[in-house]
Amino acid sequence: MINGTGAKIIGTGHALPEKVLTNADLEKIVDTTDSWIVERTGIRERHVAEAGTPVSEFATEAARQALEQAGVEAKEVDLIIVGTVTGDMKFPATACLVQAKLEAKNAVAFDLSAACSGFLYSLQVASALMRTNSYRRVLVIGAEVLTSMINWQDRDTCILFGDGAGAALLAPAEGQTGLIHSRLGSDGRQTDLLYNPGGGSLHPANLEPVAPDFPTIRMEGREVFRHAVTAMTKVLKQVLEEAEVSAEEINLLIPHQANLRIIEAVGKRFGIDKEKVYVNVDRFGNTSAASIPIALDEGRRSGRIKEGDLVAMVTFGAGLTWAAALHKF
């Protein structure tokens, strides 16, 4: 195994909205069925925020839990990165709002936009900044209220997404632990497969008329599916090879929770037992940047991830973007 990057996760947390939207609830809104959704996606229910709930609320709660678990005070935090595409506002950065709520007055704070890859992108950026800028306590948060950009009349997309946040607190690693290796990838030629055109400088929100469904998610589902499996497989293979780690050595694989069929296809390509592949997409749907840190926290709190375990994480999202990381606890 190669030398690690010097950053280790020492605390995790996650937060979800209380309200649960089941497939049966969706049957009343759009022309769909529970059996179709379960068969095609594995999703049974998802948590959805009340309209107008800021994503910083979930991000802050997840961060508080991570700090508490690690016994670290907010004032010790040097850096906060929030991976999100559904920030409270266009500006300022949601990370600054989280900083204020936590009273983490000594932190530098910024957001990172990489859609569903937001958490793993932020993790790599954080570990690089820890090396170059000597940051010692860093909060990496993936947080989304994706339902704020959903067209509830579009059955192709509205069944897929849920809201929530997950956080990881990083500290300098000791010995052969922590973030061992990670790789990121992007392909801007494929932006048309998954995007939200509304409210940016291309279609400014201050110009009328804006069609009612304009600031919502557009997706070519089948194409996204195909690219997701290919990119996740490729980047995970690269990370394993470069780190000189075999798939058998992985104690737990946490894939981005977009679709059970994508998750199973990736696990299968590496010959990883189903029991070693983390799944919570049935309960939360696709929470974008939040999906991996939510799973990490669930895994650590339930004892599924133990000290000494090697955890592989792999993701894919709009951009297109993708990433994989290996972390030894």
Quick one: 99 or 122, whose CB is closer to ligand COA?
122
- What is each CA distance from 187 to 114, 141, 146, 233, in whole angstroms? 11, 24, 22, 15
Between CA 255 and CA 316 the distance in angstroms is 9
Residues 6+ positions from 193 with CB-CB distance below 8 Å: 219, 220, 223, 224, 227, 318, 320
Query: Considering the rule CB under 6 A, would residue 27 count as an interface residue with ligand COA?
Result: no
Query: Considering the rule CB under 6 A, would residue 54 count as an interface residue with ligand COA?
Result: no
When binding is defined by CB under 6 A, the residue of 82, 114, 159, 289 that contacts ligand COA is 159
Q: Are strands 310-317 and 252-255 parallel, antiparallel or unpaired?
A: parallel
Q: Is the dihedral of CA 19, 97, 300, 144 positive or negative?
A: positive
Which residue of the set 14, 256, 259, 327 is catalytic?
A: 256
Query: Considering the rule CB under 6 A, would residue 286 count as an interface residue with ligand COA?
Result: yes
Q: Count the site residues for ligand COA by CB under 6 A.
A: 19
Between CA 237 and CA 293 the distance in angstroms is 21
Which residue of the set 116, 158, 259, 327 is catalytic?
A: 116
Quick one: 131 or 268, whose CB is closer to ligand COA?
268
Q: Are strands 108-112 and 79-83 parallel, antiparallel or unpaired?
A: parallel
When binding is defined by CB under 6 A, the residue of 6, 27, 32, 136 that contacts ligand COA is 32
* CB 37, CB 45: distance < 8 Å: no
* CB 178, CB 306: distance < 8 Å: no
- Closest contact distance (angstroms) between CB of 132 and ligand COA is 30
When binding is defined by CB under 6 A, the residue of 58, 119, 121, 225 that contacts ligand COA is 225
When binding is defined by CB under 6 A, the residue of 136, 221, 237, 301 that contacts ligand COA is 221
What secondary structure letter does DSSP report for 307?
T
* Active-site annotation holds for 286: yes
Other beta carbons less than 10 A from residue 274's beta carbon: 10
When binding is defined by CB under 6 A, the residue of 126, 258, 320, 326 that contacts ligand COA is 258
What the block records as the tokens of 167 is: 């956080």
Query: Considering the rule CB under 6 A, would residue 190 count as an interface residue with ligand COA?
Result: no
Query: Considering the rule CB under 6 A, would residue 164 count as an interface residue with ligand COA?
Result: no
Nearest residue to 285 (alpha-carbon basis) of 38, 118, 87: 38
Query: Considering the rule CB under 6 A, would residue 121 count as an interface residue with ligand COA?
Result: no
User: Which residues participate in catalysis according to the annotation?
Assistant: 116, 256, 286
Residue ranges in contact with ligand COA by CB under 6 A: 32, 36, 40-41, 116, 155-156, 159, 219, 221-222, 224-225, 228, 258-259, 286, 316-317
